[in-house]
Amino acid sequence: MDDDAWFRVRVTVPPGAATVADLVVDALWQHAPPAVEERSGDGATTFVAGYPSRSTAELAATAVRRAGATDVEVVAVVDDGLDAWRAHAEPHDAGPFVIVPPWIPAPTDDRRRALVVDPGRSFGSGSHPTTRLVLAELADVVAPGASVLDVGCGSGVLAVGAALCGAGAVHGIDVDPAAPATTLANAAANDVADRVTASTEPLAAVSAAGRTFDVVAANLLAPVIADLSEDLAAVVAPGGTLLLSGLLVARWRPATDAVTGADPGLAPAGVGQLDGWVVVRLERPAGSR
């Protein structure tokens, strides 16, 4: 079957398995679907997400099985899922921004600035609560001329948002080979291409090189944050801020504790919440390391 066709992952969670359901939704979102649909019936909950290739769908299915789901299937989508999503795309408010895809008009709103994002085949349409939470935090912590690292940049929505907030230099990194090109395209669409770079450079390489940033944004899975805790802490400059998200409201502490355990110099400075997800702000005092 053509790997370029669209495929749907369908996961059914039995009654009384709320923890598994939360982890399933998290795993589905982390593989960049345009949306995750929730259907309820007879006490069970079914989640459905579409992906632009069989390989991506299979990766998502593997992730939800690891999350504890057993009733999982991958099926081909007969219609063009991408076009269907585009037809129903809508703006999303995120801090000082309204996130819009390039094919629909940006709303007229004096309070918010348009952030134009076409996710292509990378994660980050801007609709997920964690994206909106981190954008709101970036607006608060990015000082004019600041350096920013977006770990797991996907479509570049956070990198572009940081540049629009006044950052002087923003670098996005992601293991997805499609992410850098998508990030740079979205930077150009928002007239910040001169301040945004992107690559597939591993975070460990950035850390090993001794590079540090005023603001580091990591909108990832909780287990990934825990695995990367030492390198995430290492790339935060003195006086800098680390934003952690991709975290469910009931289970954000272990990931945060892993980072502060790796570097006690990073202190919690606030937790934001939206629709069952959180963003955690950690700060390093100026002059410390």
Q: 251-254: which pairs have CB atoms within 8 A and are 24 or more residues apart? A: 251/22, 251/222, 252/222, 252/278, 252/280, 254/222, 254/226
The reported pLDDT for the residue numbered 39 is 78
Kind and range of the H or E element at 230?
A: helix 229-234
Distance, CA of 121 to chain centre:
14
The reported pLDDT for the residue numbered 89 is 64
Q: Structure pTM?
A: 0.75
Question: How far, in Å, CA of 229 to CA of 258, rounded?
Answer: 6
How many CB atoms are closer than 10 A to CB 221? 20
289 residues of the chain, pLDDT tens digit each? 344 567 889 999 888 777 788 888 888 887 777 667 777 777 788 888 888 788 888 888 998 998 888 899 998 876 544 455 555 567 778 889 988 887 777 776 677 888 888 766 545 556 778 889 999 999 999 999 999 999 999 889 999 999 999 999 999 999 888 889 989 999 999 999 999 999 999 999 999 999 999 999 999 878 889 999 999 999 999 999 999 998 888 888 999 999 999 999 999 999 999 888 899 999 999 876 6
User: Structural domains in the chain?
Assistant: 7-84 (3.30.70.120), 89-283 (3.40.50.150)
The reported pLDDT for the residue numbered 34 is 67
- Return the closest-CA partner of residue 86 out of 114, 53, 119: 119
Distances (CA, A) of 235 to 210, 230, 277: 7, 9, 24
Kind and range of the H or E element at 38?
A: strand 36-41
The reported pLDDT for the residue numbered 2 is 46
- Return the closest-CA partner of residue 241 out of 159, 143, 129, 124: 143
The reported pLDDT for the residue numbered 172 is 97
Q: Running DSSP on this structure, what letter comes out for residue 18?
A: H
